[in-house]
Structure 1
Amino acid sequence: MSTGRRRWAVLAIGMTAMTAGCAFQFGLAYLIPALLDEGLSLGQAGLLAAAPTAGLLTTLIAWGAAADRWGERRVLAIGLGAAGAILAVGTRIDGTVALGVCFALAGAAGAAVHASSGRLILGWFAAHERGLAMGLRQTAQPLGVAVAALVLPSLARSAALLFLSVFCLVAAAMVAIVVREPAARPAAADVPAGSPYCTPVLWRVHAASALLIVPQFAVATYALVFLVDVHSWEPAAAGRILAIGQIGGALARLGAGWWSDRVGSRMRPMRLVALAITLVMAVLAAGTHTPVAITALLLAGVLSVSPNGLAFTAVAEYAGRAWAGRALGVQNTAQNAVAAATPPLLAGVISAGGYGTAFAATIAFPLLAAAVIPVSAEVADRTPATRGTA
């Protein structure tokens, strides 16, 4: 296989692996109606939906360090394969606590998909291509949620977990067969020696990304039950329309990456998107019980996922290949800590004040993120589009 074909094959399989991981890590919200039918409260169902994300927190940095040392191919195949096996065991488990432990363990294993691929993209793609390449890679998250939205609402819990298990196992096998590490480059091609955390730039990117997770998971977790409870939609129909929104989110991530390549900046587009998220969440909160809420909900689902690829590209490029795995591990840890806390906390807000209050509570987070994003540091230092050039 030629080098050109190889790099796109590596990217495609990496996307497939991440799609499989994200389908169960972030798609269990689409099992909430089924869990409610089994007698669970909204708070219990929200905790189960967040359990894989909580599991991610325990292993992300370790998987990143493993990727830096042994390469992404091994890390992706082992982690995703283990997640698939754990989910298969979960098909035979009953009880809220036991299921929560199973989901958390699967999340811990599947965290490998988030700590990997960044170094692969740095190695296989030049600087002026990385925004698009990382945008493609990051489309896997909304695509994974779209798969869950299409499939899970119509399945019983055991059948849904079996589907997710098989998806992970097949993706792990594809990684082992197809993915290859890029050729090693001289140390000078990477970021200069020393920790990239000596300056506040990466810390600010991590912080802004974590803040932007709140509206993303507010919509991703409760969009389905919002449409069912407030607007009287059938779960399957709501799942289909939300899947379309997730596909739109995937395209938005791709467009954001292409945009950042063209303007030579990751942070300026990220700030503009954060401000747009603030506006659309305000519209959703104000019009919760009106037809405009449907449009605002879909638009929020698209916009709230779109800046993720920009942040990941910036983190990987600022860190360089020597630190990319660990830096992406820190990035994902910060994001997933917030992601794990958001569903159960918002469940309490919804129970106390309704969906409008919960959506209103998220508005401050993207607004604060826009202030934290290090646009000036990007200009003063070296823009991510030129850092670590191949």
Structure 2
Amino acid sequence: MATLVAGEARSASRHRWVVLAVGVGAQAGFSAMFSGLPVAGVVMRADYGLSTAGLGLVLGCLSLGVATCDLLWGMLTDRLGDRRTLITGLTATGALLALMAAVAAPGDGVGTALLAGCVFALGALGASVNSASGRAVMTWFADGERGLAMSVRQAAIPAGGAVGVALVPWLAGTYGFRAAYLALALLCLLSVAATWRWLHEHDGGAAAPGARPAAGPSPLRRPDVWRLALAGGLLTVPQFAVLTFTGIFLHDARGQGTLLAGVAVIVAQVGGGAARIGTGLLSDRGRDRRALVRVIALATAVAMAGAAVLTSAPVALTVAALALGGLLANAWHGVLYTEAAVMAGAGRAGSALGLAGTTLFGAAFVTPLVVPALLEVAPWEAVWAFAALTPLLAVPLVPARARR
């Protein structure tokens, strides 16, 4: 009997890496869409006949959809489990992308409102990935490993985003948005197949330490969890300013094509993914995740201030400054998500991650609306200065380290 139990424990220990791989794939597939569509903004604006403000509305609706439904998906994940939530959300997302390829491409008579509604629905359905895959990691990994595991999962966002940045603008510009939507639908459906085959709920018999539900109030009633989530929202502003508007800025203000914008965003995404893994390792060793978030916030503020100063510098310097700012603005996610999940306990991790996702993607929705309005009254320097201010405001919001 003891040998049988030991064998089951070893099997569960190995399977946690399979669970992580499935979560990484699901997160990367959604991120390819989430990052690829904004970088294809110049092509989208031309092919759909949108104004810059209309483009900002359409792209902002992607984040609004996530922000509106992320908490709901998180609560549903706590109730139904990771597997069913992921399969439901990703299947619906892939089906909608296929439908858009059929009837909502340029030339199909799609107006701004209908396109914005479709993009909103993509975000609302795809939001299932955030809480479900995060809760799976929380359940299968012990506290001394969660920083790395969650950061690897979060690194899938910029990594998948880099794939989307490389793939979606090229497909849209060369073959049209039908091909781009179909490719993104295929990525979602591949993730569904992997989830169906390999992801299952932890049986709880040999649960990772700290994985059982914690006593105490809901994370939605805890001021410290709210403060951490709001800090994450402020830290999201520079990330999405760089992601969404680097291409528009280089095209409109510096007369550049999409190549340099793609390079800057890919560097920010891939470098940000590596930084997430590094900060996750640091948090597992020192475990002061909140201090790490503050340090990253300060570094991001400095980098984006440098981008504001270098707005009119030689274009290579400008692109490098934006890439560095975007990289740092991508570095904090794994640490903050891990801390939010640990604060709530695995039994309520879905709700805590959903709350964090709501503030993050709420900021991601607001940013594409604020930037065009800011450009109406101020130059691009003000945009990057605004992106430097918000992470500075996040620093005092991060709660002090809990006493042990």
Same fold by TM-score greater than 0.5: yes
Q: Residues of 1 paired with 2:264 and 2:68: CA distance? A: 33
Which residue does the alignment assign to 2:389? Answer: 364
CA contact (8 A) 2:39 2:247 kept: yes
Is 2:134 aligned against 1:114?
no
Q: Please say if 1:45 is aligned against 2:55.
A: yes
1:141 aligns with 2:157: yes
Within 1, Cα distance between the matches of 2:95 and 2:31?
16
1:259-311 deviation per Cα after TM superposition (whole angstroms, max 9, x unaligned) = 11111211011100000001001100111011332211110111001111111
Is the Cα–Cα contact under 8 Å of residues 191 and 318 in structure 1 kept in the other structure?
no
AA partner of residue 75 (structure 1): T
Output one character per residue of 1:350-375: Cα deviation in whole Å (capped at 9) or x when no partner: 2432321111122221111011111x
The more displaced of 244-253 and 350-359 is: 350-359
Counterpart for residue 73 of structure 1: 83
Amino acid at match of 1:142: P
What secondary structure sits across from 1:14 in the alignment? helix
CA-CA distance at 1:41 after TM superposition: 1.1
Aligned residues of 1:83 and 1:165 also touching (Cα < 8 A): yes
Aligned position for 2:3: none
In 2, Cα distance between equivalents of 1:240 and 1:203 = 35
User: In the alignment, does 2:20 pair up with 1:32?
Assistant: no
TM-aligned CA deviation for residue 111 of structure 1: 0.8
* Map of 1:385 onto structure 2: none
1:303-382 → structure 2 map (5 Å cutoff): 303-374=328-399, 376=400, 378-380=401-403, 382=404
Equivalent residue, structure 1, for 2:200: 180
Task: Give yes or no for contact 2:227–2:397 (8 Å, CA) kept in 1.
Answer: yes
- Aligned-partner residue type, residue 253 of structure 1: R
1:15 aligned to which of 7, 24, 34: 24
C-alpha distance in 1, partners of 2:211/2:89?
Answer: 31
Please state how far the C-alpha of 1:47 moved relative to its aligned partner: 1.4
Match of 1:157 in 2: 177
Which residue in the other structure is 1:258 paired with? Answer: 281
Amino acid at match of 2:191: A
Task: Give 1:244 shift.
Answer: 3.0
**Identity of aligned pairs, percent?**
37
What is aligned with 2:232?
Answer: 209
The answer for the alignment partner of 1:104 in structure 2 is: 120
Q: 1:44 to 1:282 in 2, by over 3 A?
A: same
CA contact (8 A) 1:26 1:53 kept: no
**How far off is 1:245 after superposition?**
2.6
TM-score scaled by length of structure 1: 0.92
Contact map agreement 1:266 1:311 (CA 8 A) in 2: yes
Q: Secondary structure at the match of 2:113?
A: helix
1:55 counterpart (62, 65, 76): 65
Residues in 1 aligned to 2:222 and 2:168: alpha-carbon distance in whole angstroms: 44
Contact 2:307/2:322 (8 A) holds in 1? yes
User: Deviation digits for residues 314-369 of structure 1, max 9, x if unmatched?
Assistant: 01000001211111111111111111111021122124323211111222211110
Question: Counterpart of 2:6?
Answer: none
Give the Cα separation in 2 of the matches to 1:170 and 1:326: 26
Partners of 1:363 and 1:237 in 2: CA distance:
22
SS in 1 for 2:55: helix
Task: List per-residue Cα deviations over 1:112-168 (Å, max 9, x = no partner).
Answer: 001212221222111111000000000121122211210122122222111111111
Q: Is the 8 A contact 2:211 2:346 kept in 1?
A: no
Q: 2:107 maps to which residue?
A: none
Deviation by residue 1:149-194 (Cα, 9 ceiling, x = unmatched): 1012212222211111111111112111111111226899442243
Superposition deviation, residue 237 in structure 1 = 4.6
Alignment of 1:6 onto 2:15: yes
1:241 positional shift: 4.3
Out of 209, 214, 223, the residue aligned to residue 200 of structure 1 is 223
2:251 is equivalent to residue 228 of structure 1: yes
1:302 & 1:363 partners in 2: Cα distance? Answer: 13
CA distance in 1: counterparts of 2:131 and 2:364, whole angstroms = 16
Partner Cα separation in structure 2 for residue 257 and residue 295 of structure 1: 25
- Over 3 Å counting, the alpha-carbon distance change for 1:188 and 1:41 in structure 2 is closer
Number of matched residues?
Answer: 379
3-state DSSP of counterpart to 1:194? coil
Residue in 1 that maps onto 2:269: 246
Change (3 A) 1:189 1:54: closer
* Residues 237 and 276 of structure 1, relative CA distance in 2, 3 Å threshold: closer
Matched, 1:285 2:295: no
Displacement of 1:58 in angstroms is 2.6
Match of 2:7 in 1: none
Letter in 2 for 1:329: G
**Displacement after TM superposition at 1:5 (Å):** 2.8
Further displaced range: 112-121 or 225-234: 225-234
- 1:46 maps to a residue whose letter is G
| Equivalent-residue separation in structure 1 for 2:231 and 2:282 (angstroms) | 19
State the partner residue of 1:88: 98
Which ranges of structure 1 fall in alignment gaps of 5 or more residues? 383-390
TM (normalized to structure 2)? 0.89
- Counterpart of 1:2 in 2: which secondary structure? helix
